[in-house]
Structure 1
Amino acid sequence: MNTIGPAYALFIYQAMIEKGIASEELLADTQLNQQLLEAGDNIPMDGFLTLLNNADSLSPESHIGILLGKRSNILVLGSAGMAAAIAPNLRQGLHILDSYSRLHVSYLRVAVRSNLQGMSIGIDFMQDVGTTKRFHVETAFMLFQNYLETIAGEAVADAHYFVPYTKPDYASEYEALIHSPITYEHNEAHIQVPRRVLDVASPFYDNPAWIESQKFLANRLKYQTEQEAEPQPYTQHVHALLKAHEPPLPGLSYIAKQLHVSERTLNRRLQQEGTNLRKIKAALTHTWAKQYLQESELTIDAIASVLGYQDSANFRRAFRSREGCSPKYFREQQP
């Protein structure tokens, strides 16, 4: 059963009650009550979606997603949000959210990927949320803007927000609340974060608490994946960690340390899932190679060096084996 933390539902409940809306109407057909919302445990996603629709129909002058966004901060993502709040920098905080936000919100994934411009934060829906999708995107965008700007210590005007629907009739509210450019009718919901803010030291970094929070999250995810028989949990986790890094991608020792397991255990778990670190790194390095060839003016020799190859001949050989053509030919075919 898909679930979500109760914070969003409690925000809506409190705001609507303040507007004079009756609790019985607001909670109709949700199987929720005030006690459940205040208990601190995850609630069923279906009940939350019904609550969103009820609130929207009962208070049409309020845009529920914006209302939620104004009240939200990274802590609504539970233990993953708490860890992100005390991470050394945005890059590591966003990686934590990619790896662990599903512990708190099971209906969507925070998909983080480093790229030439900085880092992309994708909002991938794992469940059909119907007419409430706009609410979720609005809330997520404002939550992440709040997180970015809290850690950076400034209004971030050079990010870019991509919206997967047409421009709403209240878009002026977006422009007043979102500090960066917005593009509508994109194929997916995501935020492009500028590189300049990713590795700035966070003033909220707490090293002992950061280490303990990672251990707690890793153990909790391990328990959940065992209970739910989730396929390839270690492969997914390593993949998420490496996506948050720029090349050259880190090796086994670093990754094992981040996952709080021994190198031997990590190798064994990946083998049990039918893969190994070399395969995962090779696939992601190839993705980076194509980005550099498509979007940069670096020479092929320079790209090979950035990606961590000992010489350009090895890079050319690896690229041809995956793409079926040379790096030079691949670049020449780009529009």
Structure 2
Amino acid sequence: MPNISNFFARTIARELQLSPEQWSEYTGDTRQNRETVLTQQRMPLQDFVTLLSNALAISRDPGLGLRFGRHSNLLALGESGLAGLAAPNLLEALRALCDFSRLQADYMTMDIKVGLKQLSFRVREHEAIGITRRTQHEVMMLTLQNILEMVLGRPFTEGTFYFSYPQPPYCDRYREAYHSPCVFDADETGVDLDRSLIDFPSPFYDPVLWEQGRSRCIALMQELNNSQSQLHSHHILMTLRSQTPPLPSLKTIAHKMHLSERTLIRRLSEEGHTYRQLQTKVLQEWAHHYLRETDLSVDAIALQLGYQDSANFRRAFRNWQGCSPSEYRAADQS
């Protein structure tokens, strides 16, 4: 059953300054009460969706997410947030958020893709969250903005926020809440930021806490995923997509995940994948990106992707796409 951290329910309660009578209304039709919300660590997603629906009714404010979302940052994200807080730079902090986000809300997936000009961060839910969807997405993007600004030490103004729903009637409040432009009716909710920001050093970096936090989160994720089957392949895909070619080796990835190469190979096999398959998938994405977005020659692209012989790249690309790199580029530009 999907779960979510109680932090968000507590923050809502604080924002609304609930009276004893309103607490009963807030927790109505759930298995929660004031004590469980304030003292327990997690609750079932369905209870949270009901709590949030009740909060929207109590507040009579459809933009409630813009109010309590302003309080959410790395410290609100538990183990994953503590790991991200100790990260060396902005990219690693965002990676920690993506890699371990399910420790806070295991019905959500967050992905990073690093391109030549920008980093794209996208989020999607895998469970129905009804009328609370817009509110939850508002909070997620405010959380992300707060994380960016916590590291940067200033307002985040050089990006674009995307929301996968129509413009709400209170959209003027978005201009107050978000410090970069907002786009509605997008395919996915997320944010794009300039690639120059990803290496921005975090003032909170602590190498010991960073390694300890990552190790702790990896162990917790393994516990969370004992009954599920895509932990390692998803983690590796996110890691590969969050950096530019040449892509790291299996040995490097295994070391970062605190696993032996043999163990990682076995766990990927249990999930129906190999490292080569995942690496090839990301190489394909980068090949398409270079051919569409740059004027680099095919030989130069092959070198960027780690091919010593461009003929091998041409052969691999034809196997992937059914045409040569030059034919793909010509078709895309026509």
TM-score range, shorter chain: over 0.9
CA contact (8 A) 2:229 2:270 kept: no
Secondary structure of the corresponding residue to residue 278 of structure 1: helix
- The aligned residue for residue 102 of structure 1 is 102
- The yes-or-no answer on 1:265 pairing with 2:263 is yes
CA contact (8 A) 1:77 1:105 kept: no
CA contact (8 A) 1:26 1:54 kept: yes
How high is the TM-score relative to the length of structure 2? 0.95
- Determine the C-alpha separation between the residues in 2 that align with 1:207 and 1:40: 31
- Determine the C-alpha separation between the residues in 1 that align with 2:142 and 2:133: 14
Secondary structure of the corresponding residue to residue 100 of structure 2: helix
- The aligned residue for residue 309 of structure 1 is 307
Deviations 1:254-285 (A, max 9, x none): 10111001122222322343332122111111
The AA in structure 2 aligned to 1:184 is F
CA contact (8 A) 1:74 1:85 kept: yes
- The aligned residue for residue 128 of structure 1 is 128
* CA RMSD of superposed structures (Å): 1.7
Unmatched runs of 5 consecutive residues or more in structure 1? none
- The aligned residue for residue 290 of structure 1 is 288
- The aligned residue for residue 25 of structure 1 is 25
- The aligned residue for residue 66 of structure 1 is 66
The structural deviation recorded for 1:61 is 3.6
The AA in structure 2 aligned to 1:120 is S
- Determine the C-alpha separation between the residues in 1 that align with 2:21 and 2:73: 25
- The aligned residue for residue 146 of structure 1 is 146
The structural deviation recorded for 1:220 is 1.4
C-alpha spacing 1:61/1:270, structure 2 compared with 1 (3 Å): closer
- Determine the C-alpha separation between the residues in 2 that align with 1:182 and 1:301: 39
C-alpha spacing 1:21/1:145, structure 2 compared with 1 (3 Å): farther
* 318, 325, 328: which one aligns with 2:323: 325
CA contact (8 A) 2:15 2:68 kept: no
Matched length: 333
Out of 171-180 and 55-64, give the one that drifted further: 55-64
The AA in structure 1 aligned to 2:66 is I
- The aligned residue for residue 188 of structure 2 is 188
- The aligned residue for residue 92 of structure 1 is 92
- The aligned residue for residue 275 of structure 1 is 273
Out of 85-94 and 18-27, give the one that drifted further: 18-27
The structural deviation recorded for 1:117 is 2.8
Unmatched runs of 5 consecutive residues or more in structure 2? none
Identity of aligned residues (%): 34
The structural deviation recorded for 1:123 is 1.2
The AA in structure 2 aligned to 1:304 is A
- The aligned residue for residue 157 of structure 2 is 157
* 245, 248, 257: which one aligns with 1:247: 245
The AA in structure 2 aligned to 1:293 is L
- Determine the C-alpha separation between the residues in 2 that align with 1:9 and 1:232: 28
CA contact (8 A) 1:5 1:76 kept: no
Out of 137-146 and 259-268, give the one that drifted further: 259-268
- Determine the C-alpha separation between the residues in 1 that align with 2:225 and 2:143: 27
CA contact (8 A) 2:83 2:96 kept: yes
Secondary structure of the corresponding residue to residue 22 of structure 1: helix
- Determine the C-alpha separation between the residues in 2 that align with 1:124 and 1:232: 16
Out of 3-12 and 36-45, give the one that drifted further: 36-45
The structural deviation recorded for 1:20 is 8.8
In the TM superposition, what are the counterparts of 1:37-76 in structure 2 within 5 Å? 37-61=37-61, 63-76=63-76
CA contact (8 A) 1:52 1:64 kept: no
Deviations 1:32-77 (A, max 9, x none): 1121122241111111111111111121146221112111112222
